[in-house]
Chain A
Amino acid sequence: MSSSTPDEEAAGNRGASPPAALEVAAASHSYGKRKALENVGFSVAQGSFSVLLGLNGAGKSTLFCLITRLFATRGTVRIFGFDVNRAPGEALRRLGVVFQARTLDLDLTVMQNLCYHAALHGISGQDIKLRASFVLDQVKMADRARDKVRDLSGGQMRRVEIARALLHRPRMLLLDEPTAGLDIKARADILKHVRGLVAREGIGVLWATHMIDEIEPGDDVVVLHEGKILDHGNASEIAARAGAAGIGPAFNALTSAARFEGEPR
């Protein structure tokens, strides 16, 4: 992850070098008078695991709304070079999303949920049953395909949601606090699975979280606080810049410094 340079913007458009899996530039959003995001810009390289780190209310979910075109954005959001506002179909086809809120139909079976999602991407037929079994198998949920979602545990629902997000073979995966409310084992399983997707299949991942322990030193990290990016780069670089022992203390130092700057003198 890096700040967006003109080179990258050019790459995003013309493909001189491969476009970023996700590129956000100068994105802002307000709810009425309250500014939720201000001039946010960063990019996620293809096949990289990037963390969007911020406290509750930092603007992570708002940013996800802009990326998924739930809200129109001032600024630009590109997915593999496709602008979500100008070419939403092309952009959204390449994107898989796991929202913070549970979005499965509780009364439908796991397989029915997956087939509905496939239809929303214009895919049906025998191929999709195979594909659904494959993605469910990956999250170890193949044996629950015929069960109603209502009967699953929170961790199992999350795994199904991840499987569903991968159903249409996206190359970029967004996850909004996917481990919130899960126990330690379920958290670790999900994190491991998603990291595996990055390593094995070269999928780009943006993982929003407020949990420091989910970050590894080699990860790209965007530190979002009160709608602004405080720092971004490799986790160990951020720690070094802040003069801290790790990303955790660095995050605390950055956010408390931001608070002091914000106070009237």
Chain B
Amino acid sequence: MSGASASSPPAAQGLGLAQYAICLKGIVWREALRYWHQRERFVSALVRPLVWLFIFAAGFRSVLGVSIIPPYDTYVLYEVYITPGLIAMIELFSGMQSSLSMVYDREMGNMRTLLVSPFPRWFLLTSKLVAGTAVSLAQVYAFLLVAYFWEIEPPSPWGYLTVLPALVLAGLMLGALGMLLSSLIKQLENFAGVMNFVIFPMFFASSALYPVWRVKEGSPWLATICELNPFTHAVELIRFAFYEKINFLALAVVLGTTIVFLGAAIIAYDPSRGMLPRREGP
């Protein structure tokens, strides 16, 4: 080994664009590696939506009729209707899972390794968000592969490509929500609360399982909640993109919500303004 070069003092180099790229790549690579080592997580993330698809949707096929609503041109099977909702559910769980891992990292100290990096904190947190989203994309496409054999597919194969930007945006939004929550949760045990107060209400009060017009027949105020729920818009963005269409309202809501959630998370992790200093231990 060339000890001389390896032990020489630091070259005074600034943090250029290339260094930022290396840092982002490193954070994504580490998330993917960790994920690879927790394959049971992958399996459970896949089984959950499949149970909904194979059992729930099959059971409700005859109970819930779906009329022709955009982006569909014909009557669709209930399985087809809930697929975008289940995709968003995968991303919702994935976002919450990465929030859980951030709380875990904070308790275990790994978070400190990240935060003492010389890169700006907003960049580190955004990189972490991108890493989490990349992992969720792998889950979504695995689910779509299984769904394909269940005869759920977009009108043309291009749908698999056009849905990608929608998946990225929805993944970022839900990941940013998870990140914000992780800054507010004090301990791992409180994660059960997140399940009850965030995941379930967000999922059920949305257009994931039933169209909003159908909810309106039963309860107009619940329909209003569904329309205000950003998760509804994530679902609709994915639904339209899968059919090679753009839902501009959904796009705007998802973009805006991502910015708000991420901004709030960055503030919460800021050393001078955030939540960290008020607690003992980071």
Contacts and interface: CB of A to CB of B under 8 A. Distances in A.
Interface of A: 29, 31-32, 36, 61, 65, 68-72, 85, 88-95, 97, 99-103, 105, 107-108, 112, 115-124, 127, 130-131, 133-135, 137, 168-171, 201
A137 B278 CA distance: 40
Given A32-B278, A122-B20, A124-B25, A102 B109 contact: yes
B116 A101 contact: no
Contacts of B59: none
A95 B23 CA distance: 17
B15 A89 contact: yes
B19 interface: yes
B114 A120 contact: yes
Contact of B116 (A31, A97, A107): A97
Contacts of A36: 280
A153 B19 CA distance: 33
A123 B109 contact: no
Contact of B25 (A93, A103, A117, A119): A119
A204 to B, nearest CB: 13
A103 B112 contact: yes
Interface of B: 1-3, 5-10, 15, 18-20, 22-23, 25-27, 29-30, 33-34, 37-38, 108-110, 112-120, 124, 270-272, 276-282
B115 to A, nearest CB: 6
B65 to A, nearest CB: 48
Given A31-B280, A122-B22, A130-B2, A99 B109 contact: yes
Contacts of B270: 72
Contact of B113 (A89, A103, A112, A168): A103
Q: Can you list the 5 inter-chain pairs with the closest CB atoms, starting with the nearest? A: A119-B26, A122-B19, A72-B272, A101-B109, A134-B6
Given A89-B118, A169-B9, A123 B112 contact: no
Nearest to A133: B1
Nearest to B7: A134
A102 B115 CA distance: 15
Contacts of B7: 134, 201
Nearest to A116: B30
B59 to A, nearest CB: 39
B116 A68 contact: yes
Contacts of B280: 31, 36
A107 B271 contact: no
A120 B23 contact: yes
Contacts of A89: 15, 118-120
Contacts of A121: 23, 117-118
A103 B29 contact: no
Contacts of A61: 281
24 contacts: A31-B280, A36-B280, A68-B112, A69-B271, A70-B282, A71-B277, A72-B277, A89-B120, A97-B116, A99-B109, A99-B113, A105-B110, A119-B23, A119-B29, A120-B114, A121-B117, A122-B19, A122-B22, A122-B118, A124-B25, A130-B1, A134-B7, A168-B10, A171-B10
B26 A115 contact: yes
Given A95-B116, A101-B112, A201-B7, 4 more contacts: A89-B118, A93-B118, A97-B112, A120-B124
B281 to A, nearest CB: 8
B132 to A, nearest CB: 16
A31 B20 CA distance: 34
Contacts of B1: 130, 133-134, 137
A32 B5 CA distance: 48
Contact of B22 (A31, A93, A97, A124): A124
A137 B38 CA distance: 30
A120 B26 contact: yes
A134 B281 CA distance: 33
B271 A71 contact: yes
A32 B33 CA distance: 39
A4 to B, nearest CB: 22
Contacts of A116: 26-27, 29-30
A198 B36 CA distance: 39
A105 B276 CA distance: 22
